[in-house]
Amino acid sequence: MEQRKILIADDDHIEKESLATILHREGYETITAGDGKEAWEKIQQSPPDLVLTDLKMPYLNGLELLSEIKAHYPEIEVVIITGYATVESAINAMKVGAIDYISKPFNVEEVKIIIKKTLEKKELQEENIQLRKQLKEYYQFKNIIGSSHAIQEVVRILKKIVNGMSPVLITGEEGNGKELLAKSLHYNSPRKDRPFITVNCGAFQQDQMEREIFGGPNGKGVLEQANHGTLFIDEIESLPIPLQVRLLESLKDNMIRVTEKNQRIPLNIRYITASTVDLGRETELGNFREDLYYRLSVIPIYIPPLRDRKEDIPLLLNHFLKQLNKEHNKKIRFIDSEAMDDLMTHTWQGNVTELYNVIQRAVILTEGEVINTDVFPDRLNEVREEEVLVIPKIPKHGINLKEEVEKFETQLINHALKRTNGAITLASEMLKLKRTTLVEKTKRLKDIAEY
């Protein structure tokens, strides 16, 4: 702990100097004042961390001094010095804002303990304030990096809904920053000083998940923990149907039933959920309750994969380089053209998270000022966008093979058309198809791009 400054205000010279000596030996910087007026002048000149003040002093008594301090310097803690006859007044002073009181005659060990606890509490409060400031800065909307229309639209929506209560559903592939968006929404909202609680439905078995969300005999669930703040539910698609019903009840009633206590606790929560799958499609398949889906998706936000917004990569690179240079004490200025070409043509199946990890590795391994391909993992040099097809993960409840085959076919055709600049004949030769067959497929399949 850095040296803390304590001001002692007391018109009893002997007791004042005695207290100053005790605290000085404990490593504190001490300042003394013989009355309330002198104390107030010294506080204005150089505010201390803590004030010890007697209640009965000339010119400005202890209670008046306390009122001035709390009105102009609320961060300064005040401990009252009191004799037996003024204990009741000291307790009343605590109602006004004093944190504790010390009785005369002094018990040295008691004085040390009270001062130590008071300053430790103050340090913790200062650390919390600093942490909140850092969080607010880190999660400002300007730190959602991207020049693409898709990302700019996401930021525009966030700014419009930041002060509201409407539930938000964020969808997109893994590694695309869904939690970053959720935290940005929270830390820019009126709830920024309230709890932000996260739960990942994919990380628990059903019985564990029930306790995690709704609580149990050994503790509160995330619904209670997030009360008056924001609850971020990730991988909401993994929530079993029975728990979907319970969550729906809580959403409808703004209440949570605590079975063990036979209580119903009112809830005031901003719900933000996230999914890596098309939740609307899951409702059609019967894997997700339609009524819960509509309640959670009042404000839907979709984050496209990084491979579909390559124009964001240079900005992300610049952002990561600044951050990682600072963290690793490096002075890397840029990425050479061959390395940049690899970054721009890679498929980024892990999206922004994968990009960050690749750049972090490159920064650590680079000895000079320029990143080149030598510090990239082998897969980055081997894999190009047009050579890779996205293979979907098969969720627990299965997959619609016909639909996925059509998506796969669409992807292949789009790659072929892109490489031939839209030339049907050349694309059909590349795909080993008759030209008429390819034309028919481009008409039948959805999402065929125009080149």
Owner of token pair 């966030």: 158
Per-residue pLDDT of the chain (451 residues; tens, 9 = 90+): 468 999 999 998 888 998 999 899 999 999 999 999 999 999 999 999 999 999 888 889 888 999 999 999 999 999 988 876 567 777 778 888 888 888 888 888 888 999 999 998 888 888 888 887 777 788 899 889 999 999 999 999 999 999 999 999 999 999 999 999 999 999 999 999 899 999 999 888 888 999 999 988 778 899 999 999 999 999 999 999 999 999 999 999 999 987 666 778 899 999 999 999 999 989 998 999 999 999 999 999 999 999 899 999 999 999 999 999 999 999 999 899 889 988 998 889 899 999 999 999 999 999 999 999 999 988 775 545 444 455 666 666 677 888 888 888 888 888 788 777 778 888 888 888 888 888 888 888 877 877 6
Structure tokens at 388: 């890779």
pLDDT, residue 385, reads 46
The letter for the amino acid at 113 is I
Alpha helices in 346-400 (DSSP H): 351-365, 378-382
Whole-prediction pTM: 0.66
Furthest C-alpha separation in the chain: 105
d(CA 20, CA 29) in angstroms, rounded, equals 9
CB 427 within 8 A of CB 416: yes
282 beta partners = none
- pLDDT at position 397: 67
Enumerate the H helices of 237-350 as residue ranges.
Answer: 241-253, 279-284, 290-296, 313-328, 337-345
Distance CA 33, CA 48 (A): 13
What pLDDT does 383 receive? 46
Please, what are the domains in the chain? 5-134 (3.40.50.2300), 141-302 (3.40.50.300), 306-385 (1.10.8.60), 401-444 (1.10.10)
Buried b (16+ CB within 10 A) or exposed e, 248-287: bebbeeeebebeeeeeebebebbbbbbbbbebbebbeeeb
Task: Report strand pairing: 263-266 vs 77-82.
Answer: unpaired
Say what the pLDDT of residue 82 is. Answer: 82
Among 77, 73, 51, CA closest to 62: 51
The pLDDT value recorded for residue 292 is 97
Q: Estimate the crossing angle of helix 149-161 against helix 178-187, to 10 degrees.
A: 30
Q: Which two tokens stand for residue 234?
A: 């990730």
Parallel, antiparallel or unpaired: strands 77-82 and 100-103: parallel
Q: What is the CA radius of gyration of the chain?
A: 31
